[in-house]
Amino acid sequence: MIDEPRTFCQQGRFLFRYRDYGIQASVATSLPTAMPRREVLAANLVPGSMQFELIPPSLQRNGVVSVSFQLQSQDTGEVTSVSQEVQIRNVP
């Protein structure tokens, strides 16, 4: 019913995905530091721009997870905002 935990973390200008580290009381101190358990998902992120937001379910709609971040071109300095909402189905 449950899969292994996954962690998404912005470190500097990179967005990493961590996997295969097991369920632990303190995740931040024991995340993998190399491939294949740490993967780069995006580069050139604006530092501090990564945001996750959970909008809880209500009687009229399901829960929603909102993800947003900004990418910046190293050549031109142009900034592009990226956002995505994911619906969390509340099926019994």
- The domain locations on the chain are 1-43, 44-92
Tokens representing residue 30 in the block: 């024991």
pLDDT, tens digit (0-9, with 9 covering 90-100), for 5-51:
888 888 889 998 888 877 777 776 677 777 778 899 999 999 999 99
Tell me the pLDDT band of 1, cut-offs 50, 70 and 90: very low
Closest to 65 (Cα-Cα) out of 84, 86, 35: 86
Burial 26-43 (b: 16+ CB within 10 A, else e): eeeeebeeeeeebeeebe
